[in-house]
């Protein structure tokens, strides 16, 4: 169901911003591998923003499913370097890093999709900054027309953050099902 519904969504519209809240690393790895494999089979390059702990497992699984040339379609970025490129979790610096990353794809007209494993150092980090970043990310997805899944560890999502994320992602990946967020404001909502 995940593959069909997700692929159909990407065929119908290119601008897709999805929240994925996961519990177990095994489920996470399965989802990211499916997303990457489906993207490559659809002709997309992949921007994978992932940590050093999980990436080897993802990479090893993908090597069994993809050819050497297909593996070259994956651009992996260390998520710590990505989110803390300015020394702190600073949305404008993150956006600048992302824009520099996607610029070659945009200039050459190469379609891409992105998977971002969002992590932060501690719960002391101001959660409103994550809200600012997710609004920026949602805008970028719509302006640049690409699919993005933002993955968060469930246990690191207090209720306040969960609500923010539901308001900034129009779609939610729950197990193998893709659902609409009821909290995401539609284009007809006035704020």
Mean pLDDT of the chain: 87
- Domains identified in the chain, total number: 1
Give the separation between CA 89 and CA 168, rounded to whole angstroms.
Answer: 18
Report if residue 130 sits inside a domain: yes
SS3 84: coil
Q: Is residue 168 pLDDT above 70, yes or no?
A: yes
Report if residue 171 sits inside a domain: yes
Determine the structural domain holding residue 163 and report its residue range.
Answer: 2-180
Report if residue 189 sits inside a domain: no
Report if residue 21 sits inside a domain: yes
Report if residue 187 sits inside a domain: no
Report if residue 86 sits inside a domain: yes
pTM above threshold 0.75: yes
Look at residue 121 in the predicted model and tell me its pLDDT: 60
> Which of 35-44, 82-91, 118-127, 177-186 reaches the highest mean pLDDT?
35-44
Q: Is residue 124 pLDDT above 60, yes or no?
A: no
Mean pLDDT of 112-121: 88
| Start-to-end Cα distance in the chain | 35
Q: What are phi and psi of 52, to 5 degrees?
A: -70, -20
CATH code at position 49:
3.40.50.300
Mean pLDDT of 14-36: 93
Range of weakest confidence among 98-107, 123-132, 133-142: 123-132
List of residues 6+ apart from 20 with CB closer than 8 A: 31, 149, 150, 151, 152, 172, 173
Look at residue 30 in the predicted model and tell me its pLDDT: 95
H or E segment and range at residue 81: helix 79-83
Report if residue 188 sits inside a domain: no
H or E segment and range at residue 50: strand 45-50
Give the separation between CA 85 and CA 145, rounded to whole angstroms.
Answer: 24
Q: With pLDDT > 70 as the criterion, what percentage of the chain qualifies?
A: 85
Report if residue 191 sits inside a domain: no
What are 57-116's pLDDT values in tens digits? 999 999 999 999 999 999 999 998 888 877 677 788 888 999 999 999 999 999 999 999
Band of pLDDT at residue 4, cut at 50, 70 and 90: low
């Amino acid at each position: 169901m995940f593959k069909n519904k997700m692929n159909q969504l990407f065929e119908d519209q290119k601008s897709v911003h999805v929240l994925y809240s996961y519990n177990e690393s095994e489920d996470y790895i399965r989802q990211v591998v499916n997303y990457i494999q489906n993207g490559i089979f659809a002709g997309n390059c992949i921007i994978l923003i992932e940590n050093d702990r999980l990436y080897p497992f993802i990479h090893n699984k993908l090597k069994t499913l993809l050819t050497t040339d297909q593996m070259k379609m994956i651009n992996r970025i260390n998520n710590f370097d990505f989110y803390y490129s300015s020394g702190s979790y600073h949305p404008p610096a993150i956006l600048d890093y992302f824009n520099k990353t996607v610029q070659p794809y945009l200039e050459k007209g190469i379609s891409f999709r992105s998977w971002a494993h969002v992590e932060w150092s501690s719960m002391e980090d101001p959660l409103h900054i994550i809200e600012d970043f997710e609004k920026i990310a949602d805008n970028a997805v719509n302006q640049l027309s690409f699919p993005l899944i933002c993955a968060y560890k469930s246990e690191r999502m207090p209720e306040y953050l969960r609500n923010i994320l539901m308001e900034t992602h129009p779609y939610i990946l729950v197990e193998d099902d893709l659902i609409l967020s009821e909290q995401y404001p539609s284009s007809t909502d006035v704020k």
